[in-house]
Structure 1
Amino acid sequence: MSASVGPGWQAPLPLLDLDVLRNFVAIVENRSFSRAAQQVHRTPSALSMQIKSLEATLGKALLVREARRISTTTEGETLLRYARRLLNLNQEAVTQFLQPALQGSVRMGTADDVGTRLLPQVLSRFARFHPSVQVDVSVAPSLELMERFDGDDLDVALMTSGTDGLPEGRGEVVHSEPLVWAGRSGGLASECRPLQLALSNHGCAWRRMALAALDATDIDYRIAYVSESTSGLCAALSADLAVSALPASMVEAPLRSLGQGVGLPVMGNYQVLMLRHPDRQSASDALAETVIEAFQHWSGQSLELASA
């Protein structure tokens, strides 16, 4: 005789498979089943079956399969946030038991544009996993960072490629994104002639790329504002006094990407390079890997915003 079930009884909710969630995140970040399959060492058909099973479990469509790319539905974007949190928590829990505690200190140098955007995320994550490691951070121009790294004054250095004086082939590429023309939303600075520019100091890769693109056109321009920091550039743009070249991920309200509708030339992509000593202490390697993970997460968020 079977036992009776009380009126308040409910069937337990299904448990989400972390491996499936990891693959789901890889598909979204790569915008492709085939590229994700290479990353997680599975076949595209196996990933497709996992996603169909996940959608059946949750009763919601999670991905939109288009001809050239994969995008998320509203429910897929919601799951993506939960998936990343669950995967991070799982890694934190496993690390607590299996990874030996790191000690000591690590010296990190970063260019201003990278530091203002990435450092909070990197330092927060690194501190959670390695609370006993002291991180000394320096912010300086890319060329100075390379010289300090070569002089054994830094363990990890993040630089902007294309900086004047920076040799070709130095460092590994850890991030790449478009450089775009930016100005105040609803502003008129882009219509002024000569075009009023807000740029960084000589030697900056953004400055070089912006001027090279403009010099290939017949657009008359003048450099009206110069700042060592991105916050200074953004201040001039927010006041609608000029336009500037910024990485796409840095363009936030009240600024907007001007696009090609205003007749300004395409500048292409800029890259962030990393220098690190492969034979250094594990704390240095751990920080470098945390930086790479942060860039991957950052790129995934940028793709989400671009497809919204």
Structure 2
Amino acid sequence: MTEPSASLNHRTLPLLDADVLRTFVTIAESGSFTRAARQVFRTPSALSMQIKRLEETLGQPLFVREARQVRLTPEGEVLLGYGRRLLKLNEEAVTQFLAPSLEGRVSFGTTDVVGSRILPGVLARFARSHPAVQVDVVVGNTATMVQRQEEGELDLVLITVGNDGQEPPGEIMHSEPLVWAGREGGIAAQRAPLPVALANHGCVWRRAALEALDRAGVSYRIAYTCEHCAGQEAAMRADLAVSPFPPSLIQPPLRKLDHDALPALADYHVALMRRPGIGSAAEALAGHIVDAFQTTHG
């Protein structure tokens, strides 16, 4: 990377715009101008213009454009580290002056599949903006989370709900189709009856899979049941079964299966439910959750 000229000083150095930095970081993390555009609610061409101006300002190429994705140049990797730190510092500075000082305790329930997706980032940002608030996190299945909220134990719950034609409870954070997943190069999908790994009763993924198999007249056996999706992943990795799974959670050595004998599956939703009368601290955490889903999924 080219060293900055010694003749430059603090009065002539350009300032990096926070909005442009946010665009740059989003593109770098998503690996695509198109995906990043959906997340920041702009067009890919608008993002391209922002990056072009940023590259001109810094005098360095930041991305290598490839057919279906973009990747960072060495200069871009350096800027990514700076960009993340600058955006975090900007958030902390603004919060220090604009966010009211909150104290108290928030009880938050989530399913394991949802919590593992957004919880680390949400808790980290919330702790920086509201360090005096204690957050109690409970992980369990959807039915348990809803019941505990109805009993007044949980302020906020993130649950998975099906696409059954009824109005979903709470505020929809994310929607995604379910697909069949299994091990890359595995033979579980070719076995008869079809071995399936499912979550316990009450899981919307389980219901969607069984309804689809019954409608299609596919012979199957429930080979494994488990409380958490990690158990389903273990059965798939061992090539002992296939499972209904969201595409966003499928990682090697697992893959989406396109076997002709496997019926199409319905969508599922992630919903945020708020207990009536929750305080300011819980509302603030809810805001962080909403922001996390908008940033992650657009």
- The match for 1:91 is 91
| Paired AA for residue 273 in structure 1 | A
- The match for 1:244 is 243
**CA distance in 1: counterparts of 2:169 and 2:273, whole angstroms:** 8
- Kindly provide the CA deviation profile for residues 187-221 of structure 1, in whole angstroms up to 9, marking residues without a partner as x: 22122121110001122100111122223334321
**Are 1:64 and 1:72, in contact at CA under 8 Å, matched by a contact in 2?**
yes
Shift of 1:285: 0.9
- The match for 2:296 is 298
**Are 2:109 and 2:156, in contact at CA under 8 Å, matched by a contact in 1?**
yes
User: What RMSD over aligned residues (CA atoms) do the two structures have, in Å?
Assistant: 3.5
* Cα distance change of structure 1 residues 163 and 60 upon mapping to structure 2, 3 Å threshold: same
**CA distance in 2: counterparts of 1:32 and 1:203, whole angstroms:** 33
| Paired AA for residue 117 in structure 1 | R
- Kindly provide the CA deviation profile for residues 47-87 of structure 1, in whole angstroms up to 9, marking residues without a partner as x: 66434312322432649699xxx954434985667544432
| Paired AA for residue 16 in structure 1 | L
**Are 1:190 and 1:262, in contact at CA under 8 Å, matched by a contact in 2?**
no
Structure 1 segment 93-108 matched on structure 2, within 5 A? 93-108=93-108
TM-score of the two chains, using structure 1 as the length reference: 0.77
Number of residue pairs matched? 285
Q: Structure 2: any 5+ residue segments left out of the alignment? A: none
Secondary structure of the corresponding residue to residue 271 of structure 1: strand
Q: Structure 1: any 5+ residue segments left out of the alignment? A: 1-7, 301-308
**CA distance in 1: counterparts of 2:36 and 2:246, whole angstroms:** 27
Structure 1 segment 1-308 matched on structure 2, within 5 A? 9-11=6-8, 14-24=14-24, 31=34, 39=41, 49-58=49-58, 59-60=60-61, 62=63, 72-75=70-73, 78=77, 83-162=83-162, 168-253=167-252, 255-261=253-259, 263-277=261-275, 279-299=277-297
Shift of 1:10: 4.6
**CA distance in 1: counterparts of 2:272 and 2:226, whole angstroms:** 24
Percent identity between matched residues is 49
Secondary structure of the corresponding residue to residue 216 of structure 1: helix
* Cα distance change of structure 1 residues 203 and 278 upon mapping to structure 2, 3 Å threshold: closer
Shift of 1:45: 7.8
**CA distance in 1: counterparts of 2:156 and 2:45, whole angstroms:** 39
**CA distance in 1: counterparts of 2:120 and 2:80, whole angstroms:** 21
Secondary structure of the corresponding residue to residue 102 of structure 2: coil
* Cα distance change of structure 1 residues 146 and 30 upon mapping to structure 2, 3 Å threshold: farther
* Cα distance change of structure 1 residues 51 and 278 upon mapping to structure 2, 3 Å threshold: farther
